[in-house]
Chains A and B, each alone.
Chain A
Amino acid sequence: MGEENKGSSIAPELDAYTEFLKSESCRPLIGDAGEYGEGPLLRIKLTDIILKLCQANSLWPMTFGIACCAIEMMGTGMARFDISRYGSEVFRPSPRQSDLMIVAGTVNKKLAPVLLTLYEQMPSPKWVIAMGNCAISGGPFKVEDNYNVIEGVDKLIPVDVYVPGCPPRPEGLIEGILKVQEKITGTRHPLPQNRHPKSPLRKVKGLRVK
Chain B
Amino acid sequence: MDLILFLVFAGIAVVAAINVVVQRHPISSAVSLIAVMGSLAVLYLLLGAEFIAAAQVIVYAGAVMVLFVFVIMLLNAGGETKAGRSFVASLLGVPVLVALLVALLALLAFFSARLYPRDTEVHFGGFRGGTAQAVGRALFTTYLLPFEITSILILIAIVGAIVLARKELE
Tell whether A pairs with B.
Answer: no
Query: Which B residues form the contact surface with A (CB < 8 A)?
Result: none
Query: Which A residues form the contact surface with B (CB < 8 A)?
Result: none
